[in-house]
Structure 1
Amino acid sequence: MSPFQTPIEYLKGMGLSRADVLKKELQIATFEDLLRHFPYKYIDRTRFYKIREIEPELPHVQVIARLTHKELLGEKHTKRLIFQAQDDTGVMELAWFQGIRWVEKALIPGKAYIIFGKPTFFNGKVQMAHPEIEPYSAEVLQRKGNLTLQPAYSSTEKLKPFSLDSKGIQKLVATLLEQYAKDIHENLPLYIINRFKLVSRVEAYRNIHFPEDAAALNEARHRLKFEELFLLQLKLLKTKLHRTNKFKGNIFGTVGNYFNEFYHHKLPFELTNSQKKVLKEIRQDTQRGVQMNRLLQGDVGSGKTVVALMSMLIAIDNGFQTCIMAPTEILANQHYQTIKSLVGDDFVEVALLTGSTKPKARKILHERLESGDLKILIGTHALIEDKVQYKNLGLVVIDEQHRFGVEQRARLWRKNSIPPHILVMTATPIPRTLAMTLYGDLDISIIDELPAGRKPIETHHLYENQRLRMFGFMKQEIAKGRQIYVVYPLIQESEKLDLKNLEDGAAVMSHEFPAPDYNISIVHGKLKPHEKDYEMQRFIKHETQIMVATTVIEVGVNIPNASVMIIENAERFGLSQLHQLRGRVGRGAEQSYCILMSSHKLSADGRKRLSTMVKTNNGFEIAEIDLELRGPGNIEGTQQSGVLDLKIANIVTDQQLLIQIRQCVEGIFEADPQLALPENQILHHSLQSKDQGLSWDKIS
């Protein structure tokens, strides 16, 4: 076993109580965790300031000065020790409020010291509280030259009483490297190290913690980023290769009557070139005798459901059953209504299975599924219940897959002796590098054009003092026969957040749009399913003109007559969510609008989000900016995945490196799929080793 798997309590100078608090606070449980607890910044100790040069905005300064005299001030609890320190340009004051007896003994007036700390100013005089201080000599200066960039480690208040502040952690890392640096073995082949001009692994770990200089730090960072992204891509592409070899797939050899009848006689519009391209990719996948695993990305309203339906018709033409699994009843219902309206009543049998399906209907559905008569089943996670048995499941479509757990999804594959083909759909546009990292073992298809006749949604940002203008615009649109969504971030007022809440909003709307001239639907997550459905149906049937809602309408509502989306406190929503909400309108031929309401108080990020929404309708452009603003861990669906637990690499700033590495790893597997060549044995071993800290499943 590698010594780096050793529990942290066994490190010299650690002890059980310190180990326990380190595990709880920073999740550092092993030597490896400590080794990979990288500094978050470095303090430049190369420069010595003269006292006269010190400015208030400097975060830290280092001076060489002689202690002149000391004073002990205050009584018992207010006691403080003050030293004057002087160089040839001025005087500064050093203060201690704790550990006074020890400091008083250690420091000798008249001697020169190296003093380091954060400067403050009082009455024009430089002051420093609790500075780091050590005697000055030529030898010390020489030694300090070896630690020119001092590492700063993240810590917490609870760690400080255990001497585990940044300085304490630095000492532990120094001990670890002193004892075990010799055990840091290489995990990349020599030809990769030479090709990409990487420093050795041991050198990288030494210089990431204790850099000799800025150049050494940059080389160390580059090596460790490269390694992290390389091993991630190696794992993803190995999984993809393994699945291709292991999981045989049913062959959909023919395009028959169902597909042709639908395409030539039922499809109510012309497919876009993007849709045709994706269908071609799916067609090729399902002819190879290997299980298809394809991610279909497409902006809201780009026509993913039609592509899914036509793929299902190819499966049905080849004697197979199909299903669509959606994360919510609203979305499952939406797919059911859309597909029923496209195929009609006498073309192919389509059924809906959710938690609300009555026992009698469920029993009939189960029988028709087992007999093979039922060809298309649409539903929620009810589809994965053990009672749901298919005769011959050939294709599974999963919508918004990040909302399902791995085990939930994997239960669907077991519904057939040969695993069904998998088509994963998402309306959350994912930037290329994030998709490469998060879904790197899936093939990716993108629908990047909207159906013909769709007009881009006009987006406007209005402030609170323009509310009357907004009301006037709503009345104009309602007079044209259109309908309007008004979305709020909260249901009830929160003392902490000064947000327009739904209950107040509904009251204001009722006052501004009184019955009987206007009718309002109210929908939020706390309603019972039948209440929510009732309110939704009133809006769908045009019995109400305004729907006041929380974000429950973010997915799964398709009402072509709704042409205005108003988002209250828009600055409180993430870009991805704003874009999803905007996609609820613009589904008909009429011009649609999105109005973002906000207060005048906006953070820089909030302002950028709203200006991005006004500027572009392109989901992929929006996703790139969202990634820059929020980072990958906060993009919807990636936080809980565990895949993006990157310690040092950053897929926003390291995009080019990731693309370069991806191509390199693809080349390695092309030449040596089993990693059997002698020079690739080290990669084979790296894949087997536990020290990547990543958790994987055979299905992404």
Structure 2
Amino acid sequence: MAELTHITPIEYLKGVGPQKADVLKKELQIFTIGDLLHYYPFRYNDRTQFHKIRELNTDMYAAQVLGRLIGLQEVGEKRAKRLVGQFKDETGSIELVWFQSITFLQKSLQVGQVYVLYGKPSEFNGHLSFTHPEMEAYQPHAKQIGNQTLQPIYSSTEKLKKFNLESKGIQKLVQQALEIVLRTITEEVPTYILQKHALVSLPQAILAIHFPQNQQELSQAIKRLKFDELFYIQLKLLRNKQLNTQKFRGQVFNAIGEKFNTFYNERLPFPLTNAQKRVIKEIRLDTKTGAQMNRLVQGDVGSGKTVVALMAMLFAVDNGCQACLMAPTEILAQQHYTGLQELLGADICNLKILTGSTSAKQRRIIHEELENGTLDILIGTHALIEDKVKFKNLGLVVIDEQHRFGVEQRAKLWRKNTIPPHMLVMTATPIPRTLAMTMYGDLDISVIDELPAGRKPIKTVHFFESSRLRMFGLMREEIAKGRQVYIVFPLIKESEKLDLLYLEAGLENLQVEFPLPDYRISIVHGKMPAKDKDFEMQRFVKGETQIMVATTVIEVGVNVPNASVMIIENSERFGLSQLHQLRGRVGRGAEQSYCVLMSSNKLSKEGRLRLETMVRTNDGFEISEVDLQLRGPGDISGTQQSGILDLKLANLATDQALLAEARETVIAIFKEDPELSSPENALLKRQLQRKNTGIAWDKIS
């Protein structure tokens, strides 16, 4: 048989064969010996530490004790039969219980013998005990007491266990694989980088991640392998960014013309914040270079992203190009259109909207004006990417809430011009810095981190159920001032599984507290037909109803400056990012606004932290960092589902310093050697050409 290497199919490993190989592929995506070596333990049984019996407690995951077996007897009959042992050391005694292999254990265990015991302490009838502990006879003349190592524990599944591939079975395969291929593992990072960051070699790291001799060796292995993951993500992202700049030329926006100046000097309703000025300047510099701009603008709710996008679109129009803005829903597209119309007036440029409900007659006019170049700015939904929508000269594409659009949808807008249009993508969901560096590492990122002058911070309070009357009182006060109120529920109908205040029951309570004709209520939820939903939304927008009862369908929705109270029922059930987005529906006018977080009296530690964070701060970026710590990157960004981040060891919530270190290293490499042509970087160049980092690079625009 040919010599096995890390790229050898897993079925060639002794003892695997076609059936085991098939289940390893299906259950764990292990196709090669290399895949097996990169299937890391999820924890380790620490056999290096010994505890005294008096030190044991049920919080311990496992414990190892040196002591003497002083009694052993069979108790009970039939199904209740069990083997009970008494085990003691100089500090006390403890009970041992086995329900299986009783005959074998009675023969192999010797009363009076000293053993190394290992297992999880549990409590039964008020006393500590061990159930099914591992027992190893103590040999006083041996070089070490028991199995004094960190034992790897691997995740398994029921299907794998049927093929004897529980943790120990996987451990045996890994051990065999390492014995065969460890010497063939070649380095993937140049020596000068390893020395700079004090990293162990790759073979050392692979061996130690599976079979560490001690905690220090394990820590060094984890650091090295985490660095590799983060380093290659950054190397690929920044190389893509470099290639895009070289490959895609863009329209050159040289002039600041009449339309931009007229808007800035005569129509701008409020002074720009310093953050808005900074971002506009960054866009201006990007669009002068002759390379295609790819910029992400992230800003909190109400930070003024739309005005920045409008001024960027006016750059395009002043330079003989057209611009478009694509929003994920018809409601949002209409909101953008109405807002931009108010800002621009009728005389600065030709602005139109294209959605699924645009009439055939209007569509014909839009198509004609787009093709002859008289239509300057087009706002729309997915309707913009239809093949029949043709621009004369599309220079700038603005995408709002870009994570809601697929890759192919965005790419279709690229193809609507000979010279690819500049891309400006916006999100109102603040992204933690570490996530931005990995998800959007090949984009230039702008942050609008100031709110416009005159905006009052939203006052956020947390009420338990017992304070519901205070919440009703606040609602009455605000409605009496002519304001409006949102009430958001997590569910529409009663759930048997979740004891939450659901929308229908909440509505009944409201109608008692706020009866017609004094109070009118709009109802909006995801199960309603779009037409009914829009009708109810518009009633609230026009001020015909005072209270909007809704599910999270309004998380990203219409702009109602007159709404001053957001009440979130069962707020402990919402994620931080979602709570922040919902809160952002109010506080859009000059008046003081409020967010009331209603919750049950029983709160988990995590739920309490979420609500305390919301009460403490209005800063979306601070909130996003706490959210990352609590939920992890996959839950926040959807990257777990899309495959953008498939990190085996690195954690963006806890490895921020290492990520920054990896990114700075890559930036320095490209600054010194843009083409990776020096001998010391030849390895990186080869790795870039062949390395699969587990990232769907085409998913990043």
- Alignment of 1:11 with 2:13, yes or no, is yes
Q: CA deviation at 1:345?
A: 2.4
Match of 1:451 in 2: 452
Alignment of 1:658-677 (within 5 A): 658-677=659-678
Match of 1:398 in 2: 399
Counterpart CA distance in 1 for 2:344 and 2:506 is 40
Counterpart CA distance in 2 for 1:537 and 1:90 is 73
Q: Name the aligned partner's letter for residue 646 of structure 2.
A: D
Match of 1:534 in 2: 535
Distance change >3 Å, CA 69–CA 612, structure 1 → 2:
closer
Alignment of 1:120-519 (within 5 A): 120=122, 127-137=129-139, 142=144, 147-519=148-520
SS at match of 2:639: coil
SS at match of 2:640: coil
Q: Tell me if the contact between 1:403 and 1:637 (Cα under 8 Å) persists in the aligned partners.
A: no
Q: CA deviation at 1:508?
A: 1.9
SS at match of 1:477: helix
Distance change >3 Å, CA 121–CA 344, structure 1 → 2:
closer
Distance change >3 Å, CA 122–CA 500, structure 1 → 2:
closer
Distance change >3 Å, CA 361–CA 7, structure 1 → 2:
farther
SS at match of 2:246: helix
What TM-score results when the alignment is normalised by the length of structure 2?
0.94
Q: Tell me if the contact between 2:644 and 2:699 (Cα under 8 Å) persists in the aligned partners.
A: no
Q: Tell me if the contact between 1:402 and 1:638 (Cα under 8 Å) persists in the aligned partners.
A: no
Query: Greater shift after overlay, 10-19 or 402-411?
Result: 10-19
Distance change >3 Å, CA 143–CA 674, structure 1 → 2:
farther
Counterpart CA distance in 2 for 1:594 and 1:351 is 35
Q: Name the aligned partner's letter for residue 562 of structure 1.
A: A
Query: Greater shift after overlay, 292-301 or 214-223?
Result: 214-223
Distance change >3 Å, CA 51–CA 143, structure 1 → 2:
closer
Query: Greater shift after overlay, 640-649 or 267-276?
Result: 640-649
Match of 1:543 in 2: 544
Counterpart CA distance in 1 for 2:567 and 2:55 is 55
The superposition leaves residues 251-297 of structure 1 with CA deviations (integer Å, 9 ceiling, x where unpaired) of: 01111111111111111111111111111100000000000000101
Counterpart CA distance in 2 for 1:103 and 1:522 is 67
- Alignment of 1:59 with 2:56, yes or no, is no
Alignment of 1:7-46 (within 5 A): 7-46=9-48
Q: CA deviation at 1:170?
A: 2.1
SS at match of 1:585: coil
SS at match of 2:152: strand
Q: CA deviation at 1:54?
A: 4.5
Counterpart CA distance in 1 for 2:71 and 2:522 is 77
Distance change >3 Å, CA 23–CA 101, structure 1 → 2:
farther
Q: Name the aligned partner's letter for residue 163 of structure 2.
A: F
Q: CA deviation at 1:320?
A: 0.8
Counterpart CA distance in 2 for 1:89 and 1:567 is 54
Q: CA deviation at 1:544?
A: 0.8
The superposition leaves residues 358-397 of structure 1 with CA deviations (integer Å, 9 ceiling, x where unpaired) of: 3332232222222222211111122112222111111000
Identity of aligned residues (%): 64
Q: Name the aligned partner's letter for residue 31 of structure 1.
A: I
Counterpart CA distance in 2 for 1:199 and 1:685 is 21
Q: CA deviation at 1:663?
A: 1.3
Q: Tell me if the contact between 1:243 and 1:698 (Cα under 8 Å) persists in the aligned partners.
A: no
Q: CA deviation at 1:548?
A: 0.8
The unaligned stretches of length 5 or more in structure 2 are: none
Q: CA deviation at 1:71?
A: 4.1
Q: Tell me if the contact between 2:240 and 2:442 (Cα under 8 Å) persists in the aligned partners.
A: yes
**Aligned pair partner of 1:114 in 113, 116, 121:** 116
Match of 1:582 in 2: 583
Distance change >3 Å, CA 418–CA 3, structure 1 → 2:
farther
Counterpart CA distance in 2 for 1:94 and 1:291 is 70
Q: Name the aligned partner's letter for residue 323 of structure 2.
A: T
Counterpart CA distance in 1 for 2:349 and 2:440 is 33
Q: Tell me if the contact between 2:4 and 2:180 (Cα under 8 Å) persists in the aligned partners.
A: no
Match of 1:557 in 2: 558
Q: CA deviation at 1:85?
A: 5.3
Q: Tell me if the contact between 2:407 and 2:699 (Cα under 8 Å) persists in the aligned partners.
A: no
Match of 2:621 in 1: 620
Counterpart CA distance in 2 for 1:112 and 1:230 is 50
Q: CA deviation at 1:698?
A: 7.5
Match of 1:96 in 2: 98
Query: Greater shift after overlay, 427-436 or 123-132?
Result: 123-132
Q: Tell me if the contact between 2:353 and 2:380 (Cα under 8 Å) persists in the aligned partners.
A: yes
Q: CA deviation at 1:307?
A: 0.5
Counterpart CA distance in 2 for 1:592 and 1:95 is 61
Q: Name the aligned partner's letter for residue 603 of structure 1.
A: S
Counterpart CA distance in 2 for 1:468 and 1:308 is 43
SS at match of 2:698: coil
Distance change >3 Å, CA 667–CA 80, structure 1 → 2:
same
Q: Tell me if the contact between 2:349 and 2:376 (Cα under 8 Å) persists in the aligned partners.
A: yes
Match of 1:566 in 2: 567
Match of 1:606 in 2: 607
Q: Tell me if the contact between 1:396 and 1:423 (Cα under 8 Å) persists in the aligned partners.
A: yes
Counterpart CA distance in 2 for 1:49 and 1:647 is 32
Distance change >3 Å, CA 478–CA 112, structure 1 → 2:
closer
Q: CA deviation at 1:408?
A: 1.6
Distance change >3 Å, CA 304–CA 87, structure 1 → 2:
closer
Q: CA deviation at 1:6?
A: 3.8
Q: Name the aligned partner's letter for residue 116 of structure 1.
A: Y
Counterpart CA distance in 2 for 1:647 and 1:619 is 28
Q: CA deviation at 1:157?
A: 4.4
Distance change >3 Å, CA 72–CA 507, structure 1 → 2:
closer
Q: CA deviation at 1:342?
A: 0.9
Counterpart CA distance in 2 for 1:109 and 1:100 is 15
Q: Tell me if the contact between 1:410 and 1:699 (Cα under 8 Å) persists in the aligned partners.
A: no
Q: Tell me if the contact between 1:463 and 1:598 (Cα under 8 Å) persists in the aligned partners.
A: yes
Counterpart CA distance in 1 for 2:360 and 2:500 is 43
Q: CA deviation at 1:566?
A: 1.0
SS at match of 1:378: strand
Distance change >3 Å, CA 56–CA 400, structure 1 → 2:
closer
Counterpart CA distance in 2 for 1:94 and 1:512 is 61
Query: Greater shift after overlay, 122-131 or 496-505?
Result: 122-131
Query: Greater shift after overlay, 404-413 or 193-202?
Result: 404-413
Distance change >3 Å, CA 698–CA 650, structure 1 → 2:
closer
Q: CA deviation at 1:140?
A: 5.8
Counterpart CA distance in 2 for 1:427 and 1:123 is 54
Q: RMSD over aligned Cα, in angstroms?
A: 2.4
Q: CA deviation at 1:203?
A: 0.6
Counterpart CA distance in 2 for 1:649 and 1:18 is 29
Counterpart CA distance in 2 for 1:27 and 1:655 is 28
Match of 2:592 in 1: 591
What TM-score results when the alignment is normalised by the length of structure 1?
0.94
The unaligned stretches of length 5 or more in structure 1 are: none
Q: Tell me if the contact between 1:353 and 1:377 (Cα under 8 Å) persists in the aligned partners.
A: yes
Distance change >3 Å, CA 227–CA 344, structure 1 → 2:
same
